[in-house]
Amino acid sequence: MIDSDYSQLIFPFGFILSQKAATEKALAEQISVIEGPPGTGKTQTILNIIANAMMNNKTVAVVSNNNSATANVLEKLEKYGVDFFAAFLGNKENKEKFFNEQKGVYPDMSSWIIPPQAINTMKTILRDSQQKLNDMLGIQNRLSDLKQKFTELQTEYKYFNQYFQESGIGSMQLSSLYRIRSDNLLKLLFQFKKCLEKESVSFRTKLYNLFTYGIYSFRFYYYTPEAIVSFLQKSYYEKKMKELQNDIEALTHKLGNYHFDREMKEYSAVSMKLLKAELVQQYKKGKNRVIFSTKDLWKNFDSFIKEYPVILSTTHSLRSCTSENYLFDYVIIDEASQVDVVTGALALSCAKKAVIVGDYFVIFSLLATGNKKKLQILFGILKCSA
């Protein structure tokens, strides 16, 4: 369940259903894992987590084994002009560069101001739009699954039909009062496989098939059980492929009538406007901005983290970027497969909630083996030792 602080989630960087679910889980769970190969939108999910954290005055640390992953996150924030709340720290060189290049002014946010009534209207529009996008994304996923099933079934049928033709069974016909769907053909198929053991079909079974499946012509039973089984299997393949084709055409038609890319672009744009409007409220302090020094990381960290609630760092340097015993609301470990246990533990010791992104690394293999409780205990020990 999403934290009660989050009245409504936004997705200014777009989403697919799996990314949306990953964002929701990250905001709800003490520990969550976002796993997937390159190109599956993990950085997009990280950005959406940051956006929702910023909407609710939460602090976030994004860490990785090297600077490239965190630099990628910063680059995406820069693209939308919302990088000013993030501090790219980590090793000594990065800290010096950040503190030396601070700007004593805030970016011009005058165009980001939205009246309260307009914000409420935009949130309502966003809720309706998100529901429609969820439905369409569900259809998109369903369509992808159906196409995969059709391809697999088509391959199976190709080889089975070759066997059927070579068996010399000849033409057969199943006369029924109903249109028998593929799932009922499958039940019939299993039934006749049992009849193979008896080498006959009882009169009781014939009556049952009459009332259940509408098979009124008993001539169908003149064939051998082996022939009937082969015929039913062939009929199942053909019927199932036809049903899949019909479903694919129907879903394709639905998607064709919905301008998905345009709707997602508009949804993301409204989300970004809401994020920027919230940033105006958080940073409406005038044009001048406090200039910090490296000493402020331990002497005046409370003021620093209010100005820069998103910290980007390497895993082994995060502790040196915060005051003693400080806990971020979220610590996101990116490219976790490259992180060793020791530096990963150091990063976790700074977290109230942890989000692990990438492939599982040593500590988080506990999750795969069903030992989530042990991991939570370990996580609690690390926090207590901070």
pLDDT at 378 over 60: no
> For residue 218, what are the contacts with CB-CB under 8 A and spacing of at least 6?
206
Instruction: Report which of residues 333 and 173 the model is more confident about.
Output: 333
Per-residue model confidence (pLDDT) at position 377 = 45
Task: Using CB atoms within 10 Å of the CB of residue 54, give its burial: 0 to 12 exposed, 13 to 18 middle, 19+ buried.
Answer: buried
Q: Report which residue type is found at 63.
A: V
Answer yes or no: is pLDDT of 88 > 90: yes
User: Cα separation of 300 and 282, whole Å?
Assistant: 19
Q: Is 6 helix (H, G, I), strand (E, B) or coil?
A: coil
- Contact present, 315 and 347 (Cβ < 8 Å): yes
pLDDT 10s digits, 229-274:
888 888 899 999 999 999 999 999 888 878 878 888 899 999 999 9
User: Residues of CATH 3.40.50.300 domain(s) within the chain?
Assistant: 17-106+285-384
147 backbone dihedrals φ, ψ, rounded to 5°:
-65, -40
The tokens describing 194, both together, are: 């049992």
Q: What is the mean pLDDT of the segment spanning 357-374?
A: 50
Single-letter residue type at 176: S
Residues 6+ apart with CB under 8 A from 313: 61, 62, 63, 70, 89, 90, 94, 321
Question: Would strands 328-333 and 351-357 be described as parallel, antiparallel, or unpaired?
Answer: parallel
Q: Which CATH class is domain 17-106+285-384?
A: alpha beta
At residue 52, the pLDDT reads 95
What mean pLDDT, rounded, does the chain reach? 84
Left, alpha or beta for 14 (phi > 0: left; psi -120 to 50: alpha)? left
Q: Is 199 a residue whose pLDDT tops 70? A: no
Q: Encoding tokens for residue 246?
A: 């019909």
| Statement: residue 170 has pLDDT above 80 | no
Collapse the DSSP code of 333 into the 3-class scheme (helix H, G, I; strand E, B; otherwise coil) and give the result: strand
Rounded Cα–Cα distance for residues 166 and 160 (Å)? 10
Predicted confidence (pLDDT) at residue 6 exceeds the cutoff of 70: no
> Side chain identity at 119, as an amino acid letter?
I
Average of pLDDT values for 214-221? 80
